[in-house]
Structure 1
Amino acid sequence: MSVVRTAVTGVGSYLPPHIVTNEELSKTVDTSDEWIIERTGIRQRHKAADDQPTSDLAVEAALRALADAGKTAADVDLIIVATTTPDNTFPATAAIVQKKLGAPVGIAFDVQAVCSGFVYAMSVADGFVARGHSKCALVIGAEEMTRLMDWEDRTTCVLFGDGAGAFVLEPREGQGTKDDQGLLGFALRCDGSKTDLLYVDGGPSTTGTVGHLRMTGNQVFRHAVVNISEAIVAATEAASIAIPDVDWFVPHQANARIIRGVGERLGLDENRVISTVDLHANTSAASIPLAMDTAIKDGRIKRGDLVVIEAMGGGLTWGACAFRL
């Protein structure tokens, strides 16, 4: 049976040039390189310049993804930006990206599911592309999480960084089987009763301020391992594939311990799990495309490989997506 699949045809990423090492942080925060590495696996993070908004990071990643797909901004008819650190309360950062890219009038909006935002945005884009409403979509995860940090809270400020990653999505004809190129299965979840475990203590209708990130780390860790594992199983089942069939797992890069915990719970081969958290820390919605781009560029992930991406973030939201590149 012939079907239209949403295929990933281009991948790109961008990290602002300013690198903040653990050693640098230890000069202003009560922490140490050893303490951070032992608990998180993070060695450094990137920090955007004061005059570099989230949309600038998104545009750089988008241009690289478009080049990888052999497309230009003139081809783009849909832009979805997954972000929890928008340039402004409104308009959507996607609209600003559209303007900066010089893309034609089309569909542009943001998705806010925090660290799960990129997976959510991929699902939303699939609804447009696979149904014929978009011929060339940009899905971008872009974050400046350092803007939300309380730099006196060593349990959170060491965990996050800034960056952006993007996928170009285009329609491809398939046969409705797991061998098709394109998105094969999703699992998306939210448990709003856990909002107090990971949140920002500000907002337009509450404090009128941006606020700072607050997290109950041990509880988030416990829920992350269980929830992400469940989502991976559900997404692979929806795609009619078995976990051992997956070539590469590209997790949200939150914490090396969470990545290991999920791998152990599901019996994943650690050599098939992409981990880049040591290089860019937790970049929220940007971390999956950043890790994916790294693994494609270094030759690990190749065209035709079966990939599963997953994430969990504030909400609590979580989800997974299985696709063939």
Structure 2
Amino acid sequence: MERTQIVGTGSYAPSRVLTNQDLERLVDTTDAWIRERTGIEERRQAAPDESTSDMAVQAARPALAMAGIQPEDLDLIVVGTVTPDMPMPSCAAFVQAKLGARRAFAFDVAAACSGSLYALSVADQFVRTGQARRALVIGAELFSRSLDWSDRNTCVLFGDGAGALVLAPVSDTDDSGPPRGILSTHLRTDGAHAEILTIPGGGSRMPMTEEVLHERLNTVHMNGREVFKFAVRALVDSTHEALAAHGLEPGQVDHVIAHQANLRILEAVLARLEIPREKCWLNLHKYGNTSSASLPISLDEALRAGRLKRGDIIVMMAIGAGMTWGSAVVRW
């Protein structure tokens, strides 16, 4: 089978900035409290007329431009999101139409904050097996409309945004060096812990009713302490697994591209892996937790900042509701 490489990246953040000081006027919190517990200083919020697919398209266009391909060249679009435009059809269908990618088949992957990593893994399989030559992977979330703005434990965390990756078969014909591209992805789920991070209302289990709206059960509910403990353990184990699959040690990692939910989680994971914080691209302070968009936004920023060099070993990691989590190893 062919290997897959990332040939284009893009990202998008809405123009409206919601600072910690803004939140002080909305809910019982302070800038110091938020910074100390999360590392977040501000986050972005979509405009009233902006949808998840709109943000996804804005991230996709620079990714396609970097890859040097047109939308009609795409064979596949996979969107990781749990905040689609509507329950059906998929967000990916709207993205396909808005881009004009008429040849591409398109669908969503729902793995919460792990969504873009899951979508990357799915698209990688299609490219490896030759069923798709050009694939567009997007993580896009509009969580500001799924938050309880009176709950200081959740409303301070999330921001809106989108990130995109373009995948293609490895074009490097030089076989003298180590293999480049996506070396492997490793995905995990443990539904026994589903209740620690949910949007309980609005589905078939608890359809939308006046009571659901009154109790705000259609918004994010989280047991932060349990999420923290689970996340640190799962991400450390998953990263060790991914590296071991290629005979690599954490000390050989050049860059960490991670879903950014909480600075304390990232610092704990990096400490246990004995990877210096300087190797992890951090943008949590300005975007907050953008869920599935976090990982591709971070990769795009790191690449455009000149941090990624040919041959670098990159570890990706993400964890989200489900609980879902995973890691990937890429040689750039």
- How far does residue 106 in structure 1 lie from its aligned partner after superposition? 2.4
The TM-score, its normalising length taken from structure 2, stands at 0.94
- The one-letter code sitting in structure 1 at the alignment partner of 2:181 is G
Q: How many angstroms apart in 2 are the aligned matches of 1:8 and 1:178? A: 18
- 3-state DSSP of counterpart to 1:254: coil
Alignment of 1:195 with 2:189, yes or no, is: no
Counterpart in the other structure of 2:283: 276
How far apart in 2 are the matches of 1:18 and 1:302? 33
85 and 177 in structure 1: CA distance in 2 versus 1, 3 angstrom threshold: farther
Structure 2 counterpart of 1:43 = 41
Runs (4 or more) in structure 1 with deviation over 6 Å come to 174-178
Alignment partner of 1:82 is 2:80: yes
Structure 2 residue matching 1:271: 3-state secondary structure: helix
SS in 1 for 2:243: helix
CA distance in 2, matches of 1:178, 1:76: 29
| Structure-2 change in CA distance of 1:212 and 1:128 (3 Å) | same
- Give the match for residue 153 of structure 1: 151
2:117 aligned partner, one-letter code: V
Change beyond 3 A, Cα 1:266–1:132 = same
C-alpha separation in 2, matches of 1:178 and 1:190: 35
Contact preservation (8 Å) 2:74, 2:103 = no
Q: Is the 8 A contact 1:78 1:134 kept in 2?
A: yes
- Give 1:217 shift: 0.2
How do residues 95-110 of structure 1 correspond to structure 2 at under 5 angstroms? 95-110=93-108
Change (3 A) 1:203 1:68: same
Q: How many residues get paired?
A: 323
Q: Secondary structure at the match of 1:312?
A: strand
Decide which moves more: 17-26 or 173-182. 173-182
> Whole-Å Cα distance in 2 between the matches of residues 311 and 120 of structure 1?
9
- Once residues 95 and 220 of structure 1 are traced to their aligned partners in structure 2, the CA distance between those partners, rounded to angstroms, is 32
2:315 partner letter: V
Instruction: Give the superposition deviation at 1:297.
Output: 1.6
Residue 27 and residue 110 in structure 1: after superposition, are their counterparts in 2 closer, same or farther (change >3 A)?
A: same
SS at match of 2:157: coil
The Cα shift of 1:56 comes to 0.2
Residue 144 (structure 1) aligns with = 142
**Partner AA of 1:121 in structure 2:** A
* Residue 238 of structure 1, CA deviation: 2.0
The CA distance in 1 between the partners of 2:177 and 2:84, in whole Å, is 36
* Aligned residue number for residue 246 of structure 1: 253
Q: Which moved more, 1:83-92 or 1:235-244?
A: 235-244
Counterpart CA distance in 1 for 2:286 and 2:177 is: 33
| Equivalent-residue separation in structure 1 for 2:175 and 2:326 (angstroms) | 22
8 Å CA contact 1:186, 1:238 repeated in 2: no
Higher mean displacement: 51-60 or 244-253: 244-253
Is the contact made by 1:178 and 1:241 (CA closer than 8 Å) also made in structure 2?
no
Output aligned runs, 1:311-322, within 5 Å.
311-322=318-329
| Match of residue 185 from structure 1 | 184
Taking structure 1 as reference, are residues 177 and 166 closer, same or farther at Cα in structure 2, changes over 3 Å only? farther
Per the alignment, residue 127 of structure 2 pairs with 129
Deviation of residue 285 (structure 1)? Answer: 0.3
Which of 288, 300, 303 is the equivalent residue of 1:296?
Answer: 303
Superposed displacement of residue 302, structure 1:
2.9
Give the residue type in structure 1 aligned to 2:115.
G
CA distance in 2, matches of 1:224, 1:187: 15
Give the corresponding residue for 1:4.
Answer: 2
- Is 1:205 the counterpart of 2:212? The answer is no
1:324 matched to 2:322: no
Gaps of 5+ in 1: none
Paired-residue identity, %: 46
| Cα offset, 1:22, TM superposition | 0.4
> Are 1:217 and 2:224 counterparts?
yes
Name the CA distance, whole Å, in 2 between partners of 1:39 and 1:176: 47
Are residues 1:29 and 2:36 paired?
A: no
Q: Report the counterpart of residue 256 of structure 1 in structure 2.
A: 263
State the Cα RMSD in Å: 1.5
Alpha-carbon contact 1:44-1:279 (below 8 Å) kept: yes
In structure 1, what residue type is equivalent to 2:189? C
Partners of 2:5 and 2:176 lie apart in 1 by 14
* Residue from 236, 257, 266 that aligns with 2:273: 266
